[in-house]
């Protein structure tokens, strides 16, 4: 019998930062508990950290988050209160990449996600389309939620997260979208910096595109990562980052695809990345191969079709569940396509070959 995935729950949050956090925690309490249970186990198995060590490190990250964005820290505190979980555990899951990979020195290959952006010159309706398959550990599928947030003093936004986290992929009312892919590098040495979910959320709190870029490039980073930033007016830049460096990658002929390896020539020459997985090297190539003949006529449906592609299965753009190099079961846990011209995010739960894309709009939309 073919598995069909149920749509993710959608929660609308409104008020000040703490209010939004409390609502998040209360509405998604069961899924927040699953997020914490999953990651505390992963931190022990993957990073060899005891529960006391995880919570001690979380307190250090909490101080860093508070210093750079007290409103986001207030939201995290609200999530803990609303879900009745320990604050350190909520902070820890918001630092999952740093705790899992921050001291890897590139010894562990990044294993997740394929991202696509098509600019107005490449699309049929002259809008901006951004697509992503989020590949991760299979148990995380049961923790994913969609948030529509109208927070006082911040842009209205819609995003997809693991419950308990404040940021991941999303877009806001000013036409800014952020999507991320995992990268690891030789510069991942355990440095304490702003965790990736907080960086992504701060990007979505930006009103102007340059503010989003400055937020990313000027913030102290504790782990490598790839950030695709796009604006509905027709600009997109991919930023391959390490704790110490930023490498911008630009679309060619209005199209850019990215997986989990560094593309920028300087990064390759400097040798910051020591470990690639073979599927990363063909996933971004495959996405471009499928879309390049359609440049000038690319539609949302075309991007969705690419995100359903199964070449190289199980390690395809659309990843089917399988054991991944001793790291547990991996799969595509969500697929998203942002249609910035029409202000809608299309979301398919799990493998998009086994679910339908459903629209999620900004608050009030």
Residue 139 lies in a domain: yes
Q: For residues 222 and 358, give the distance between their C-alpha atoms in angstroms, rounded to a whole number.
A: 34
Pairing of strands 10-15, 144-151: parallel
User: Which CATH number characterizes residue 259's domain?
Assistant: 3.60.60.10
Geometric angle at alpha carbon 139, from 138 and 141, rounded to 5°: 75
Query: What pLDDT shows up at residue 100?
Result: 82
Query: What pLDDT shows up at residue 107?
Result: 47
| Neighbour tally for 208: CB within 10 Å | 11
Residue 34 lies in a domain: no
Query: What pLDDT shows up at residue 271?
Result: 78
Q: Are 227 and 242 in contact (CB under 8 A)?
A: no
CA dihedral 120, 123, 129, 133 (to 10 degrees): -140
DSSP-H helix ranges across 84-156: 87-93, 96-101
| DSSP conformation letters of 316-360 | SSSPPSEE-TTS-EEEEEEEEEEETTTTEEEEEES-GGGS--EEE
Q: For residues 92 and 165, give the distance between their C-alpha atoms in angstroms, rounded to a whole number.
A: 10
Residue 128 lies in a domain: yes
Query: What pLDDT shows up at residue 110?
Result: 56
Please give the structure tokens belonging to residue 134.
């989020």
Residue 220 lies in a domain: yes
Please give the structure tokens belonging to residue 304.
């969705």
pTM, rounded to two decimals: 0.95
Domain count, the chain: 1
Residue 165 lies in a domain: yes
**Residue numbers of the domain that contains 238:** 104-361
Query: What pLDDT shows up at residue 99?
Result: 86
Nearest to 116 by CA among 357, 317, 345, 287: 287
Q: For residues 165 and 198, give the distance between their C-alpha atoms in angstroms, rounded to a whole number.
A: 9
Query: Element (H or E) spanning 72, and its range?
Result: helix 70-83
Residue 312 lies in a domain: yes
Residue 16 lies in a domain: no
CA distances to 19, 122, 190, 252 from 217, rounded to whole Å, are: 29, 28, 19, 22
Q: Per-residue confidence of the chain (365 residues) as pLDDT tens digits?
A: 467 899 999 999 999 999 999 999 999 999 999 999 999 999 988 778 899 999 999 999 999 899 999 999 999 999 999 999 999 999 999 999 888 875 555 445 556 799 999 999 999 999 999 999 999 999 999 999 999 999 999 999 999 999 999 999 999 999 999 999 999 888 888 787 889 999 999 999 999 999 999 999 999 998 899 999 999 999 999 999 999 999 999 999 999 999 999 999 998 888 787 667 889 999 999 999 999 999 999 999 999 999 999 999 999 999 999 987 666 789 999 999 999 999 999 999 999 999 999 999 999 87
Query: What pLDDT shows up at residue 358?
Result: 98
Residue 209 lies in a domain: yes
237 strand-pairing partners: 229
Query: What pLDDT shows up at residue 3?
Result: 73
* Tokens 């918001």 -> residue: 94
End-to-end CA distance of the chain: 37
CA dihedral 100, 106, 111, 114 (to 10 degrees): 110
């Amino acid at each position: 019998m073919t598995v069909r995935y149920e749509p993710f729950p959608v929660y609308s949050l409104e008020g000040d930062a703490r209010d939004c956090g409390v609502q998040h925690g209360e509405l998604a309490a069961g899924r927040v508990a699953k997020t914490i249970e999953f990651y505390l186990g992963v931190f022990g198995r993957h990073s060899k950290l005891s529960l006391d060590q995880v919570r001690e490190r979380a307190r250090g990250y909490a101080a860093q988050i508070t210093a750079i964005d007290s409103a986001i820290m207030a939201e995290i505190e609200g999530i803990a209160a609303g879900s009745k979980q320990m604050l350190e555990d909520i902070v820890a899951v918001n630092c999952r990449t740093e705790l899992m990979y921050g001291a890897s020195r590139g010894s562990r290959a990044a294993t997740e996600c394929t991202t696509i952006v098509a600019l107005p010159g490449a699309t049929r309706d002259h809008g901006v389309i951004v697509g992503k398959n989020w590949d991760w550990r299979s148990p995380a599928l049961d923790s994913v939620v969609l948030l529509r947030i109208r927070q006082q003093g911040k842009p209205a936004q819609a995003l997809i997260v693991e419950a308990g986290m404040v940021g991941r992929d999303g877009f806001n009312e000013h036409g800014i979208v952020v999507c991320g892919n995992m990268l690891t590098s030789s510069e991942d040495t355990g440095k304490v910096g702003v965790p990736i979910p907080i960086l992504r959320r701060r990007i979505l709190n930006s009103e102007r595109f340059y503010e989003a870029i400055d937020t990313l490039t000027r913030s102290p980073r504790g782990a490598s990562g790839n950030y695709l930033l796009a604006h509905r007016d027709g600009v997109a830049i991919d930023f391959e980052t390490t704790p110490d460096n930023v490498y911008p990658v630009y679309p060619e002929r209005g199209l850019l695809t990215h997986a989990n390896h560094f593309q920028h020539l300087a990064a390759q020459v400097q040798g910051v990345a020591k470990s690639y997985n073979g599927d990363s090297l063909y996933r971004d190539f495959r996405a471009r191969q499928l879309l390049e003949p359609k440049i000038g006529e690319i539609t949302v449906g075309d991007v969705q079709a690419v995100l359903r592609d199964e070449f190289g299965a199980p390690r395809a753009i659309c990843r089917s569940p399988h054991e991944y190099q001793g790291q547990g079961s991996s799969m595509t846990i969500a697929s998203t396509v942002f249609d910035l011209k029409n202000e809608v995010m299309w979301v398919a739960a799990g493998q998009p070959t086994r679910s339908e894309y459903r629209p999620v709009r900004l608050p009030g939309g």
